[in-house]
Amino acid sequence: MNNHKGTLIVISGPSGVGKGTVVNMLLQRLKDAVLSVSCTTRAPREGEKNGKSYFFISKETFLKMIDEGGFLEYSNHFENYYGTPRFFVEQKLEEDKDVILEIDVDGAANVKKQFPDALLLMITPPSREELVRRLKLRGTEDEVLIEQRLRRADYEMSRSNFYDYTVINDDLEQTVENILKIVENRRKGIK
Ligand code: 5GP
Protein backbone atom coordinates (compact mmCIF):
# COMPACT_ATOMS: atom_id res chain seq x y z
CA MET A 1 0.00 0.00 0.00
CA ASN A 2 2.82 2.43 0.80
CA ASN A 3 5.13 1.64 -2.11
CA HIS A 4 4.25 4.87 -3.92
CA LYS A 5 6.84 7.57 -4.59
CA GLY A 6 4.57 10.54 -3.99
CA THR A 7 4.67 12.12 -0.55
CA LEU A 8 1.52 12.59 1.46
CA ILE A 9 1.91 16.05 3.00
CA VAL A 10 -0.44 16.80 5.87
CA ILE A 11 -0.80 20.43 6.86
CA SER A 12 -2.59 21.39 10.05
CA GLY A 13 -2.84 24.53 12.10
CA PRO A 14 -5.43 26.64 13.81
CA SER A 15 -8.06 28.57 11.89
CA GLY A 16 -6.73 31.96 10.87
CA VAL A 17 -3.07 30.91 10.78
CA GLY A 18 -2.92 31.34 7.01
CA LYS A 19 -2.88 27.67 6.01
CA GLY A 20 -4.93 28.30 2.88
CA THR A 21 -2.50 30.89 1.53
CA VAL A 22 0.51 28.73 2.38
CA VAL A 23 -1.05 25.73 0.65
CA ASN A 24 -1.84 27.75 -2.49
CA MET A 25 1.75 28.97 -2.68
CA LEU A 26 3.05 25.42 -2.19
CA LEU A 27 0.84 24.16 -5.01
CA GLN A 28 2.32 26.75 -7.33
CA ARG A 29 5.88 25.83 -6.47
CA LEU A 30 5.76 22.10 -5.96
CA LYS A 31 5.70 20.45 -9.34
CA ASP A 32 3.48 17.36 -9.36
CA ALA A 33 1.70 18.24 -6.12
CA VAL A 34 -2.06 18.18 -5.93
CA LEU A 35 -4.49 19.28 -3.25
CA SER A 36 -7.07 16.93 -1.85
CA VAL A 37 -10.40 18.76 -1.68
CA SER A 38 -12.26 17.72 1.45
CA CYS A 39 -15.97 17.19 1.90
CA THR A 40 -17.76 19.16 4.59
CA THR A 41 -21.27 19.57 5.91
CA ARG A 42 -20.64 23.18 6.96
CA ALA A 43 -22.13 26.04 4.95
CA PRO A 44 -19.87 27.77 2.43
CA ARG A 45 -18.32 31.07 3.52
CA GLU A 46 -18.51 34.00 1.20
CA GLY A 47 -16.32 33.44 -1.82
CA GLU A 48 -15.92 29.69 -1.27
CA LYS A 49 -16.64 27.62 -4.34
CA ASN A 50 -18.05 24.11 -4.35
CA GLY A 51 -15.42 21.63 -5.55
CA LYS A 52 -12.58 24.10 -4.99
CA SER A 53 -12.58 25.06 -1.30
CA TYR A 54 -14.59 22.01 -0.32
CA PHE A 55 -17.25 19.72 -1.65
CA PHE A 56 -20.20 21.06 0.32
CA ILE A 57 -22.47 18.10 0.95
CA SER A 58 -25.42 17.30 3.21
CA LYS A 59 -25.01 15.43 6.48
CA GLU A 60 -27.02 12.59 4.98
CA THR A 61 -24.62 12.21 2.05
CA PHE A 62 -21.64 12.48 4.39
CA LEU A 63 -22.94 9.69 6.63
CA LYS A 64 -23.59 7.53 3.59
CA MET A 65 -20.00 8.07 2.41
CA ILE A 66 -18.73 7.03 5.86
CA ASP A 67 -20.74 3.82 5.63
CA GLU A 68 -19.36 3.08 2.19
CA GLY A 69 -15.76 3.59 3.34
CA GLY A 70 -15.44 6.62 1.09
CA PHE A 71 -13.26 8.60 3.51
CA LEU A 72 -9.58 8.13 4.23
CA GLU A 73 -10.29 9.94 7.48
CA TYR A 74 -12.95 12.24 8.82
CA SER A 75 -13.63 14.22 11.95
CA ASN A 76 -16.39 16.23 13.44
CA HIS A 77 -16.05 19.62 15.03
CA PHE A 78 -18.00 22.86 15.32
CA GLU A 79 -20.97 20.49 14.84
CA ASN A 80 -19.89 19.81 11.27
CA TYR A 81 -18.23 16.90 9.55
CA TYR A 82 -15.03 17.20 7.54
CA GLY A 83 -13.52 14.32 5.57
CA THR A 84 -10.87 13.39 3.02
CA PRO A 85 -12.24 11.46 0.04
CA ARG A 86 -10.23 8.24 -0.14
CA PHE A 87 -10.26 7.54 -3.86
CA PHE A 88 -8.59 10.77 -5.04
CA VAL A 89 -5.69 10.51 -2.58
CA GLU A 90 -4.96 6.86 -3.28
CA GLN A 91 -5.15 7.39 -7.02
CA LYS A 92 -2.78 10.38 -7.02
CA LEU A 93 -0.24 8.65 -4.78
CA GLU A 94 -0.35 5.69 -7.17
CA GLU A 95 0.49 8.15 -9.94
CA ASP A 96 3.51 9.23 -7.83
CA LYS A 97 2.11 12.68 -7.20
CA ASP A 98 2.57 14.50 -3.91
CA VAL A 99 -0.79 14.99 -2.25
CA ILE A 100 -1.43 17.84 0.17
CA LEU A 101 -4.09 17.40 2.85
CA GLU A 102 -5.17 20.43 4.84
CA ILE A 103 -6.83 18.75 7.79
CA ASP A 104 -7.14 18.98 11.57
CA VAL A 105 -5.04 17.22 14.21
CA ASP A 106 -7.47 14.32 14.69
CA GLY A 107 -7.51 13.67 10.95
CA ALA A 108 -3.71 13.87 10.82
CA ALA A 109 -3.42 11.19 13.52
CA ASN A 110 -5.70 8.91 11.51
CA VAL A 111 -3.71 9.47 8.32
CA LYS A 112 -0.44 8.69 10.10
CA LYS A 113 -1.83 5.31 11.18
CA GLN A 114 -2.58 4.39 7.57
CA PHE A 115 0.41 6.14 5.98
CA PRO A 116 3.30 6.02 8.47
CA ASP A 117 5.57 7.82 6.00
CA ALA A 118 3.23 10.81 5.63
CA LEU A 119 4.93 14.14 6.33
CA LEU A 120 3.07 15.96 9.10
CA LEU A 121 3.49 19.73 9.27
CA MET A 122 1.93 22.00 11.87
CA ILE A 123 1.70 25.70 11.07
CA THR A 124 1.46 27.97 14.09
CA PRO A 125 1.07 31.73 14.50
CA PRO A 126 3.94 33.79 15.98
CA SER A 127 1.74 34.26 19.09
CA ARG A 128 -1.80 33.68 20.31
CA GLU A 129 -2.42 37.45 20.20
CA GLU A 130 -1.51 37.45 16.53
CA LEU A 131 -3.97 34.62 15.91
CA VAL A 132 -6.77 36.59 17.59
CA ARG A 133 -5.90 39.58 15.43
CA ARG A 134 -5.94 37.53 12.22
CA LEU A 135 -9.24 35.84 13.07
CA LYS A 136 -10.89 39.20 13.73
CA LEU A 137 -9.40 40.65 10.58
CA ARG A 138 -10.90 37.85 8.50
CA GLY A 139 -14.28 39.17 9.63
CA THR A 140 -16.24 36.16 8.41
CA GLU A 141 -17.27 35.03 11.87
CA ASP A 142 -18.98 36.54 14.88
CA GLU A 143 -17.48 36.79 18.38
CA VAL A 144 -18.94 33.49 19.61
CA LEU A 145 -17.50 31.60 16.66
CA ILE A 146 -14.15 33.30 17.08
CA GLU A 147 -14.09 32.20 20.75
CA GLN A 148 -14.94 28.66 19.66
CA ARG A 149 -12.16 28.67 17.08
CA LEU A 150 -9.66 29.98 19.63
CA ARG A 151 -10.46 27.15 22.02
CA ARG A 152 -10.02 24.73 19.14
CA ALA A 153 -6.76 26.47 18.21
CA ASP A 154 -5.39 25.87 21.72
CA TYR A 155 -6.25 22.18 21.35
CA GLU A 156 -4.69 21.95 17.88
CA MET A 157 -1.44 23.63 18.98
CA SER A 158 -1.23 21.43 22.09
CA ARG A 159 -0.84 18.48 19.70
CA SER A 160 2.06 19.93 17.72
CA ASN A 161 4.65 17.60 19.28
CA PHE A 162 2.95 14.77 17.38
CA TYR A 163 3.98 16.42 14.09
CA ASP A 164 7.23 15.96 12.17
CA TYR A 165 7.77 19.72 12.01
CA THR A 166 6.22 22.88 13.41
CA VAL A 167 6.58 25.90 11.15
CA ILE A 168 5.86 29.36 12.55
CA ASN A 169 4.01 31.48 10.01
CA ASP A 170 5.47 34.89 10.69
CA ASP A 171 6.72 35.85 7.25
CA LEU A 172 4.69 34.09 4.55
CA GLU A 173 7.50 33.80 2.01
CA GLN A 174 9.86 32.38 4.65
CA THR A 175 7.22 29.90 5.80
CA VAL A 176 6.78 28.57 2.28
CA GLU A 177 10.56 28.38 1.77
CA ASN A 178 10.92 26.43 5.02
CA ILE A 179 8.27 23.94 3.99
CA LEU A 180 9.76 23.49 0.52
CA LYS A 181 13.10 22.70 2.13
CA ILE A 182 11.49 20.15 4.46
CA VAL A 183 9.73 18.45 1.52
CA GLU A 184 12.93 18.41 -0.51
CA ASN A 185 14.86 16.84 2.36
CA ARG A 186 12.15 14.23 2.81
CA ARG A 187 12.44 13.32 -0.86
CA LYS A 188 16.20 12.95 -0.46
CA GLY A 189 15.62 10.77 2.55
CA ILE A 190 17.05 13.31 5.02
CA LYS A 191 15.08 13.52 8.26
P1 5GP B 1 -12.77 25.52 8.23
O2 5GP B 1 -14.21 25.37 8.63
O3 5GP B 1 -12.13 26.71 8.87
O4 5GP B 1 -12.60 25.50 6.74
O5 5GP B 1 -12.00 24.24 8.76
C6 5GP B 1 -12.07 23.87 10.10
C7 5GP B 1 -11.05 22.78 10.37
O8 5GP B 1 -11.35 21.61 9.64
C9 5GP B 1 -9.62 23.16 9.98
O10 5GP B 1 -8.76 22.82 11.05
C11 5GP B 1 -9.35 22.30 8.77
O12 5GP B 1 -7.97 22.01 8.64
C13 5GP B 1 -10.15 21.07 9.12
N14 5GP B 1 -10.43 20.23 7.96
C15 5GP B 1 -10.71 20.62 6.71
N16 5GP B 1 -10.89 19.55 5.92
C17 5GP B 1 -10.73 18.46 6.70
C18 5GP B 1 -10.77 17.04 6.44
O19 5GP B 1 -11.00 16.56 5.34
N20 5GP B 1 -10.54 16.24 7.51
C21 5GP B 1 -10.29 16.71 8.75
N22 5GP B 1 -10.06 15.83 9.71
N23 5GP B 1 -10.23 18.02 9.01
C24 5GP B 1 -10.44 18.89 8.01
Strands (E), the chain: 8-12, 33-35, 39-40, 55-56, 71-77, 80-85, 98-102, 119-124, 165-168
- Binned at pLDDT 50, 70 and 90, residue 82 comes out as very high
Give the closest residue to 55 by CA, choosing from 31, 74, 38: 38
Ranking 3-7, 32-36, 62-66, 80-84 by mean pLDDT, the lowest is: 3-7
- Binned at pLDDT 50, 70 and 90, residue 3 comes out as low
Nearest residue CA, atom 1 of ligand 1? 15
What residues line ligand 1, using a CB cutoff of 6 Å?
15, 38, 42, 73-75, 82-84, 102-104, 106-107
Q: What percent of the chain has pLDDT over 90?
A: 75
Q: What percent of the chain has pLDDT over 70?
A: 96
Cα of 167 vs centre of ligand 1, distance in Å, is: 18
CB 40 within 8 A of CB 58: no
Stronger pLDDT, 53 or 141, i.e. the higher one: 53
Nearest residue CA, atom 11 of ligand 1? 103
What are the tens digits of pLDDT across the range 94-145? 999 999 999 999 999 999 999 999 999 999 999 999 998 888 887 767 888 8
Ligand 1 atom at minimum distance from 106 CA: 22
Separate counts of helices (H) and strands (E) for the chain = 7, 9
What is residue 100's predicted lDDT score, i.e. its pLDDT? 98
Q: How far apart are CA 103 and CA 187, in angstroms?
A: 22
Cα of 121 vs centre of ligand 1, distance in Å, is: 14
Enumerate the β-bridge partners of residue 35: 100
Nearest residue CA, atom 21 of ligand 1? 103
Per the confidence metrics, is the pTM higher than 0.85? yes
Ligand 1 atom at minimum distance from 11 CA: 12
Q: What is the mean pLDDT of the chain?
A: 92
What is residue 99's predicted lDDT score, i.e. its pLDDT? 97
- Binned at pLDDT 50, 70 and 90, residue 187 comes out as confident
Q: Using the predicted structure, report yes or no on whether residue 1 has a pLDDT greater than 60.
A: no
Q: Using the predicted structure, report yes or no on whether residue 72 has a pLDDT greater than 70.
A: yes
